Amino acid sequence: MAERIPRVPVREQDPKVRAHNFEEVCYGYDLQEALREASRCLHCKNPRCVAACPVSIKIPEFIAKVKEGDITGAAAIIAEDSSLPAVCGRVCPQETQCEGSCILGVKGEPVAIGKLERFVADHTFTTEGDETISPERHATRGTEAGGPERNEVKQAVGAAEPTPEREILSPRKKVAIIGSGPAGLACASDLAKWGYEVTIFEALHKAGGVLEYGIPEFRLPKEKVLKREIDEVKALGVKIETDVIIGRTVTIDSLMDDEGFEAVFVGTGAGLPKFMGIPGENLNGVFSANEFLTRNNLMKAFRPDYLTPIHAGARCCVVGGGNVAMDAARTALRLGADTSIIYRRTEVELPARKEEVHHAKEEGVDFQMLTNPVEILGDEKGWVKALRCIRMELGEPDESGRRSPVPIPGSEFEIPTETVIMALGTAPNPLIVKTTSGLEATRRGGLVADEEGRTTRPGIFAGGDAVTGAATVILAMGAGRKAAKAIDEYLKTR
C-alpha cells in the first residue's frame, strides 16, 4: 500500500540555541499536526504495535479517538494501561517497540505513536489548567468533553482493566511500594484503582526515581510533565512518603510486622553506578553519570538559584553509549563543555534511542566510536588531564550474537580532557536484600522474581530494574503492572 501522507515532522528547538539551555528540545505536535499524523494509522485488525508495547496500550483505539478530535477520549483509553503517558511519549524507545512494529514502517515511516501519545497527554494537561486533579475530577472528565462518548470515558478512567466493577475491599488492605520510579508508580496506580490502600516509600526527597534524578529537564520537564503525572497518581489515592530509606529508616519486615502492610512491591531500580576499574578513576574530575545527572536534575545545579555545585570543565569525555551517556553528554555540553562520547562498539550498536543520538549530534556532541578508555591521567594536583584510550575493532559475534569489540594492539592515544563521566550502566542496590529476611538476589544483584514479580518470599513482589538490572522506563512500568495483578491475586486469596 502506498503511503499517502508522509509522517508529520515534529517541531524542535534549534540545535544551536538549545545547546545552551535546558528547555525542552521537542515541542510536540499541535492539534492540526496530531490530526494529520493520526490519519495515517491503518487501524490494523491485528495491531502489531499493541503487541510490541510492554504495557499493551490500545494504540489504534486511542489514535482513532484523536482522529475524531476527541482527545479526552483518547486520554482515557491510554489511561487504562499507562499512568505516565506524557513521560512515555517522551522517553520510550518507540523505534524498537510500537513504532518498530508499525506496518507502515515496512515501506515507509511508521506512525509517530510516541509523539501522538505525548500530544494526547499534554493536551489533557493544558485543558485542565493548573488545578490539582482530584478523583472527582477524573470521574467528571467525560462530562467536560461532552458528546456521546461520555459514559465510555467514565468507565474507562474508573477501572485499570476493562473488567467489571470491583468491590471496594473493606477494610482496605495495605500495600507498600518501595521506590517511586516508573515500576512503583505503575504498580501503585493499578492497586489504588482496585481499592487497595497504597503507600509509596521514596528514599530521595522528590518522587519519580530515575524520571526525577536521571532524565534531564530538556528531555522530560519536571514541573510541567513529571510532577503532573505523579499528581495524577496521587489523585488516585496513592500516598507518597519521601525521605524514607527502606532497609535503613525502616525495614520491609517491620512494615509487614508492625505497620500492617500485607504485601510489598520492590521497585527500587538499579541505582548503583558501575566504574571500569581502570587506573585513575578516583582522580578529581571523574564522576559517575548518576552523580553528574543527579546534581543537575534532582539538585538543579544548572539553575543559578540552587546551591548545588557541578563541574563539567571546558572539555568532557562521557564513556558509554546508552541513553544515560547521551543525557550526561548533552548536559555537559549545555554546561559549557566541549563534549565527546567514548564508545567501544560502532554507532549501529549504540544502545541509546535513535532520537537521542541524533539530537546529541545536532547539538555538537562529538562521537568517538570503537574507542575504549584504558587509563585516566591526572595532573600533579590530582585532577584529570587526559583520557588514554585504545582503538577497537569488531571481532567475531559472541553468544549474544553481537560482534564483540577487540582492542587493536598499539593503537593507544590520549584525549585531553578535564572531566570524565562514567555512564556504563548501573546495578541494583543490595540494601533491601541485605535487610529483608527470605529475599534472594542473583549474582548480578537483581532480586529473584518470576514473570509476575513474585520473589522468593510470599507477599513480597518486585519488578523493573531492581529485578532485571538497568532497562527502560516502559519495561519497568510493564513489570509494575504485572506485579500489581499478582499482588491482587495474592491478597484476594489470603
The footprint of other proteins (CB under 8 A) covers 203-205, 213, 242-245, 248-250, 271-273, 275, 281-282, 284-285, 287-288, 290-291, 294-295, 298-300, 305-311, 381-382, 429, 431
Assess contact for 240 and 207: CB atoms under 8 A: yes
Nearer residue to other proteins within complex by CB, 306 or 413:
306
- Shortest distance, position 410 Cβ to other proteins, whole Å: 29
Give the CA distances from residue 119 to residues 34, 87, 145, 164, 402, in Å, rounded to whole numbers and listed in that order.
7, 11, 17, 29, 36
Could you give phi then psi for residue 406, rounded to 5 degrees? Answer: -125, 135
- Shortest distance, position 430 Cβ to other proteins, whole Å: 8
- Shortest distance, position 369 Cβ to other proteins, whole Å: 26
Q: Which three cell numbers stand for residue 186?
A: 505503575
Nearer residue to other proteins within complex by CB, 323 or 426:
426
| Cα dihedral 285, 290, 291, 292 sign | positive
403-407 vs 384-397, strand pairing mode: antiparallel
Nearer residue to other proteins within complex by CB, 125 or 383:
383
Rounded CA separation 88/43 (Å): 21
Nearer residue to other proteins within complex by CB, 310 or 447:
310
- Shortest distance, position 175 Cβ to other proteins, whole Å: 19
- Shortest distance, position 282 Cβ to other proteins, whole Å: 5
Rounded CA separation 88/93 (Å): 9
Nearest 5°: the CA angle 375, 380, 382 is: 60
Give the CA distances from residue 351 to residues 49, 319, 345, 423, in Å, rounded to whole numbers and listed in that order.
21, 13, 10, 12
Nearer residue to other proteins within complex by CB, 186 or 432:
432
Nearer residue to other proteins within complex by CB, 94 or 429:
429
Nearer residue to other proteins within complex by CB, 150 or 311:
311
Q: Which three cell numbers stand for residue 374?
A: 584504558
Give the CA distances from residue 212 to residues 109, 202, 206, 222, 230, in Å, rounded to whole numbers and listed in that order.
32, 12, 7, 7, 11
Task: Give the H/E segment covering residue 315.
Answer: strand 315-319
- Shortest distance, position 329 Cβ to other proteins, whole Å: 18
- Shortest distance, position 149 Cβ to other proteins, whole Å: 41
